Amino acid sequence: MSHEALHVTPCSLLWLIPAFPLMGFLINGLLRRKQKEAVAGIIASLAMFASFLVSLMVFFRLLNLPHDGRVLIQTLYTWFGVGDFLVNVSFQIDPLSAIMILVVSGVGFLIHVYSIGYMKGDPGVVRYFTQLNLFAFFMLMLVMADNYLLMFLGWEGVGLCSYLLIGFWYEDLNNARAGMKAFVVNRIGDFGFLLGMLLIFTTFGSLQYSVVFERAAEFPVGSSVITALTLLLFVGATGKSAQIPLYTWLPDAMAGPTPVSALIHAATMVTAGVYMVARSNLLYTLAPVSLAVVAGIGAATAIFAASIGLVQKDIKKVLAYSTVSQLGYMFLACGVGAFGAGIFHLMTHAFFKALLFLGAGSVIHAMHHYLHHVGSHANAQDMDNMGGLKAWLPRTFGTMLIATLAIAGIPGLSGFFSKDEIFWKAFSSGHYVVWVIGLIAAGMTAFYMFRLVYLTFYGEFRSAKKDQHPHESPAVMTVPLIILAVLSIIGGWVGIPHALGGGNQFEAWLEPVFASSLHVSEMVHGEGGVGLELSLMALATLIALAGIGLAYWFYRKRTDLPDKVAAGARALYNLLFHKYYVDEIYNAIVVKPLREVSRVFLWRVFDAGIVDGAVNGMAKVMAQVGQNARRAQTGQVSNYALVFGVAVIVILLAFVL
């Protein structure tokens, strides 16, 4: 649709939303060597809070516009132009991007505040807050852009910042490698995005959303060129949002500080791929093959990652694979044409997953200080070293329990409403296979998340020494947990389905963004009936409760069972514990061969042989020329006179002839 069709309203406030984090980055970055730790944290947090306040103002202004005219545009300047092709630095806020800026700035602000306590005393804390603000700036650019090129700028920016933040403690080689792995794997996906963007330009002659979607609507459903460009865009999404086969960077990204994990893996970077697919909803609706691929990859990733999470011992690794699995749900929703349900789950997931990561950070913070105090070198993230922490970390325990209930899909909490919407859309559109896979993954999620809770907070404290114990984190860390816990409860109430007496206001809010795709879609989401929807809801709830009950039986009632089951199914356990050996397979068939080719051909043959050979060869030629010329310099006057005479004769002959 064109801007005229959208009834665009100009807005002069939009630039402030990314500008505040950018100012925080500049202030802390320029004063890094002189900046005090506390001041850096306050400046970075205030920058995010200011961005959140402006986002709220923009949201309410959008809310007051007509339902079908909720689009705000601000063009700052023309980036570059060639003939009729123009690319502007222009921001667009509609119902979709409004949700994103509120999530990024709001949850981002809470994570910044939490970081003040978590990173206290770290020698690189000013650099940390500088990079955190820069990350937020690029993420806001990504979701506010009104064209694919500006989106790509933000896309690459968050990739760069993720490299810096994941490898923040780069003195440790493993941390540096984790940052490099995230950077390289994302570049693979970004290459697909770049090719897709080039194909968009050659097909439509523009990269601006409104122009692209208006011209795309003229193409038939199933168009090969639309299918090709959407698949290329999805390659980028699999990298950024950690889907099969480019998911391997995300679990290793746990090497970074825990607040970074909360920011990257809950509210921002990993959701960029989901946002991009939802933003391109019209293109994907015109490409049923691409939608099937998105749904299939999403479902496969959801159950694949969930199975790995069943046996991990590192508390952050469990949450990492949980994130990969939940992102799979979002793509599953988009793949069945339920883009609104995918964004709904993106929002609720931002609340409870940020809370889970920050809660895990509170546990790690307490364990680290305790283990350091008692002189132990045990791993502060290994759940085998925890247990019984609910007595000493009551606020952390209570808030994490709420988040765990939410992600498990217990009725009344945010995760229940968004997951149920995905399951209902998948079933009612006839995608029964992905619906079944989603249900199984949901049962696994409930099991491994309550396994985490029981191993961490219940039973005997397995690292007790001299009657000492960990202590609760300071208020600057626990207050953000409480706020996120409230959001994890009420965050889904905006999407209460019709079957439960609600009007699903969230879906109605996003309707203008997805109206065009629904208009041309050939898929029919059968409404079925209230009874059917309630039955499916009850089934999903029973599966979640079964997962919780099984975890209770294994890790509270019969604590000997996990070891017995692992011993009885040793091959399967090892397969899951070692993450299906995917990293080892990639290393054997991709990394090592490429490294060997680089070492032998690129280094020995091309660099040392051709490049160095050409440079060294030229040097040898010039050296030989100089050597020969030097022989003429004898220092004898008679020789110089002879040369001079011969030169005079040659010149005279030239004139005469």
95-118 and 272-279 helices, crossing angle to 10°? 170
Alpha-carbon distance of 228 to 238, in angstroms, equals 15
Q: Burial level of 557, CB count in 10 A (0-12/13-18/19+)?
A: exposed
Q: Burial level of 31, CB count in 10 A (0-12/13-18/19+)?
A: middle
| Residue 280 scores a pLDDT above 70 | yes
Q: Which helix (H) or strand (E) holds 539?
A: helix 530-552
User: For 264-276, how does the pLDDT look when each residue is reduced to its tens digit (9 = 90+)?
Assistant: 877 788 999 999 9
Predicted local confidence at residue 216, as pLDDT? 93
| Residue 25 scores a pLDDT above 60 | yes
Q: Is 73 strand, coil or helix?
A: strand
| Residue 523 scores a pLDDT above 70 | no
More confident residue, 597 or 346: 346
Alpha-carbon distance of 206 to 200, in angstroms, equals 7
User: For 37-52, how does the pLDDT look when each residue is reduced to its tens digit (9 = 90+)?
Assistant: 889 999 999 999 999 9
Predicted local confidence at residue 529, as pLDDT? 76
Alpha-carbon distance of 304 to 302, in angstroms, equals 6
| Residue 415 scores a pLDDT above 50 | yes
Mean model confidence pLDDT for the chain: 89
Predicted local confidence at residue 4, as pLDDT? 40
Name the band, by pLDDT with cuts 50, 70 and 90, for residue 469. Answer: confident
Q: Is 87 strand, coil or helix?
A: strand
User: For 547-593, how does the pLDDT look when each residue is reduced to its tens digit (9 = 90+)?
Assistant: 999 999 999 999 889 999 999 999 999 999 999 999 999 999 988 88
Predicted local confidence at residue 631, as pLDDT? 66
> For tokens 């995010």, what's the residue?
48
User: For 591-648, how does the pLDDT look when each residue is reduced to its tens digit (9 = 90+)?
Assistant: 888 888 877 776 767 766 777 777 877 888 887 777 776 666 666 777 777 777 887 8
Range list of β-strands (E), 61-151 = 72-82, 85-93
The bridge status of strand 72-82 relative to strand 9-10 is parallel
More confident residue, 532 or 595: 532
Name the band, by pLDDT with cuts 50, 70 and 90, for residue 2. Answer: very low
- Averaged pLDDT, 375-390: 86
Predicted local confidence at residue 525, as pLDDT? 46
Name the band, by pLDDT with cuts 50, 70 and 90, for residue 517. Answer: low
Name the band, by pLDDT with cuts 50, 70 and 90, for residue 31. Answer: confident
Predicted local confidence at residue 518, as pLDDT? 61
Distance of CA 120 to the CA centre of its chain: 26
Alpha-carbon distance of 340 to 424, in angstroms, equals 12
